[in-house]
Amino acid sequence: MDAHLITKIIHMTAVALSLLVFVFRAATLFVGVKGQQPNPVARVPLIATQHLSFSVVIVTGVILLFMKDFQVQPWFYAKIILFVVLLSSLHKAFKKDQDILLVQRRAGLIIGAVAFAAIISLVMIKPVFA
């Protein structure tokens, strides 16, 4: 196998892992909630896994960009913006702050889910803007 294919496989595996962790962390906002905070059970491993998967996605994404000599389609820029929205909304949803209400956390989670779904849709559809 060539390096480009291996990097793509690693990238997509990290995306799948981040989606799985997203679902598990989302469950902490609905099951076992303590006050306005998410369920603290398995908080540290979930955060570590999420940070690892997003870091691998970013690193392999940059490597893939180098391999393609930064030749990207127009939808790629939307994907980057949606990724920033995803990170921002997850930060808001799971920030360890007593002032953030549970309803605000869940709204951040919904925004993150929409952004994640939009990213996956963009990658699968690969729209052509002409």
In a domain, 67, yes or no: yes
Please give the distance of CA 50 from its chain centroid, rounded to a whole number. 8
In a domain, 23, yes or no: yes
Q: In terms of residues, how long is the chain?
A: 130
pLDDT digits (tens, 9 = 90+) for 46-98: 999 999 999 999 999 999 999 999 999 989 999 999 999 999 999 999 998 88
Whether 118 contacts 82, CB under 8 Å: yes
In a domain, 130, yes or no: no
- The average confidence (pLDDT) of the chain is 93
Total domain count, the chain: 1
Whether 38 contacts 31, CB under 8 Å: no
In a domain, 15, yes or no: yes
In a domain, 103, yes or no: yes
- 128 pLDDT band, cuts 50/70/90, is confident
In a domain, 24, yes or no: yes
Q: What are phi and psi of 115, to 5 degrees?
A: -65, -45
In a domain, 107, yes or no: yes
- 44 pLDDT band, cuts 50/70/90, is very high
Average pLDDT over residues 88-116: 93
Q: Which domain holds residue 75?
A: 3-125
In a domain, 101, yes or no: yes
